[in-house]
Amino acid sequence: MKYVIGNNLVATMATYLLPNVRHLKSSSPDLDILNIETFYIPYYCLDFVKSVFPGAKLTKYELRTMYDMRATLSAVKPKNFDQIYKLYTRGKVNVEKEYLRTISESLDVISINGESPINSLIILYDELRKLTKDKVEEITITEIDATQRLIKLEGGIEYVYDRLLYTGDLPSLLSLDSKKTVEYSIEQNYAHIGTFKMPVVDKYVYTCKLENENDIEISKIFDQIATVGKPWFRKVYHNETIVYESLKQIFDDKIEENTVLQYTEESQITNTLGIAKVAGIDLLGKCSEWNNSVGFGHVIRRCNSLIEYYGDDEKNHKIIFPGQENLLY
């Protein structure tokens, strides 16, 4: 049997795109509910969205970024902004090219039925869940034995797998790997000196009520602000809220006069590992592959390449979306 593991957008996309899989999903969402770097649907993924929403009104939306460099706002990216941004968020200046694409001055993205980029992404995710519900099984995984190809569930149930596509976060896979097969494989291939340690720092995400008058006005024109020189490095406008991403904890009840409504902790990947497969387990997703560049196109491209192994025999050479198999992110 072929299985997809994870409770996130990437797992649901893979379940939709790969015809012969069962989706094993925990009752609670993964830490990163999207498991991609972007909060929008790139316009070059139009064919994919059309397959999900054949009758929807799909239009091109220009997602715009403003820049805040030491309290000076600009619609044009300031000189040296990228270098400072990379140093703060990744601790180095040499990073993958696609990492900075998310803070480009403008990006062409998809709007579904006239909705904003984030709302369109939520609508797409909801529809994918409806389309794949018959392939989903809610379970609690207690252990993955990569040597015996076993998925062990609560209650002593065991599933034997032929192929396994894991879309949860990599640290969780390491904790499920009782025989340390995955950890050993990573240490052999990715730990250049000494014992392997996950290249990660804590990221703090604050969802606030949109109250600041300046932010209200800016949100009418721009979708996000990339920032250097402050605790947070990006803030995204979404309906009546503003979401701050920070590498430092903020203990105030308000951020820039915007009341904090919700706080979560996530992981900020500092060094991309790009692990596509480990100990016979296929990995897919930003936090699974430990790859900051994973976006919509990357997920579609990987599923195109994996369909040979996760599809029915008579369909195993089919390209899902001709012309999109070379998407890089």
The reply to whether 151 and 250 lie within a common domain is: no
Contacts of residue 214, defined as CB under 8 A and 6 or more positions apart, other chains included, come to none
Last residue of a domain, one of 241, 269, 297: 269
205 alpha-carbon distance from chain centroid: 15
Taking 80 as the threshold, does the pLDDT of residue 312 lie above it? no
Q: Who has greater pLDDT, 22 or 320?
A: 22
Separation CA 194–CA 303 (nearest Å): 34
Least confident of 23-37, 183-197, 252-266: 183-197
275-302 confidence digits (pLDDT tens): 999 999 999 999 999 998 898 899 999 9
- 137 and 265 co-located in one domain: no
pLDDT of residue 74: 97
Give the integer Cα–Cα distance in Å for 166 and 275: 11
Block residue for tokens 């316009």: 43
122 plus 108 within the same structural domain: no
Q: What domain range is 48 assigned to?
A: 1-57+114-197+273-329
Residue 326 pLDDT exceeds 50: no
Give residue 323's pLDDT band: very low, low, confident or very high (50, 70, 90): very low
Q: Does the pLDDT value for residue 216 go beyond 90?
A: yes
pLDDT at 329: 45
Label residue 201 left, alpha or beta by phi (over 0 means left) and psi (-120 to 50 means alpha).
beta
- pLDDT of residue 320 exceeding 90, the answer is no
Six-digit token pair at 205? 């995400």
Domain boundary among 269, 297, 319: 269
Query: Pick from 171, 261, 154: which is nearest to 210 by CA?
Result: 261
Question: Is residue 140 domain-shared with residue 235, that is, in the same domain?
Answer: no
Quote the tokens at residue 147: 């040597």
Same domain, 53 and 119: yes
Question: With bands split at pLDDT 50, 70 and 90, how would you rate the model's confidence at 328?
Answer: very low
What pLDDT, on a 0 to 100 scale, did the predictor assign at position 292?
86
CATH of the domain at 290: 3.50.50.60
Judged against a pLDDT cut of 70, whether residue 103 lies above it is answered with yes
Helices (H), the chain: 9-17, 46-52, 81-90, 117-132, 170-176, 181-190, 213-218, 286-289, 296-310
Give the span between the Cα atoms of 288 and 200, in whole angstroms: 13
Q: What is the DSSP letter of 314?
A: G
The reply to whether 177 and 191 lie within a common domain is: yes
Name the more confident of 190 and 173: 173
Q: What is the pLDDT of residues 242-252, one digit of tens each?
A: 999 999 999 99
Q: Quote the pLDDT of residue 10.
A: 96
Q: What does the pLDDT average to over 168-176?
A: 92
Question: How large a percentage of the chain has pLDDT more than 90?
Answer: 74
Q: What is the pLDDT of residue 248?
A: 95
**Where residue 192 falls among pLDDT bands split at 50, 70, 90?**
low
Place of tokens 């599923």: 303
167 and 264 part of one domain: no
Q: What is the pLDDT of residue 313?
A: 55
264 lies in the same domain as 278: no
Let me know whether 5 and 16 are in one domain: yes
Residue 191 has pLDDT above 80, yes or no: no
Among the candidates 227, 250, 269, a domain finishes at: 269
Give whole-number Cα distances, 286 to 107, 292, 293, in Å. Answer: 20, 6, 7
pLDDT in the model for residue 86: 95
Tell whether 19 and 164 lie within a shared domain: yes
Q: Does 255 lie in the same domain as 141?
A: no
What integer is the mean pLDDT of 1-6? 96
| Chain mean pLDDT for the chain | 90
Which segments within the chain are labelled E, that is strand? 2-5, 22-25, 58-69, 72-74, 106-112, 136-138, 141-145, 150-153, 158-160, 163-166, 200-209, 224-228, 232-238, 241-246, 254-255, 258-269, 277-278, 281-283
Grade residue 53 by pLDDT with cuts at 50, 70 and 90. Answer: very high
pLDDT level of residue 322 (50, 70, 90 thresholds) = very low
Q: Give the dihedral sign, CA 97/98/103/104.
A: positive
Q: How far is CA 165 from CA 15, 33, 83, 206, 297, in A?
A: 10, 17, 35, 31, 18
Rounded Cα–Cα distance for residues 311 and 135 (Å): 14
Q: Could you read off the pLDDT of 125-140 as tens digits, one per residue?
A: 999 999 999 999 999 9
Are 89 and 192 found together in one domain? no
144-172: b or e for each residue (b if 16 or more CB lie within 10 Å)? bbbeeebbbbeeeeebebebbbbbbbbeb
Interatomic CA distance for residues 193 and 183, integer angstroms: 15
What is the total count of domains within the chain?
2
pLDDT at 96: 86
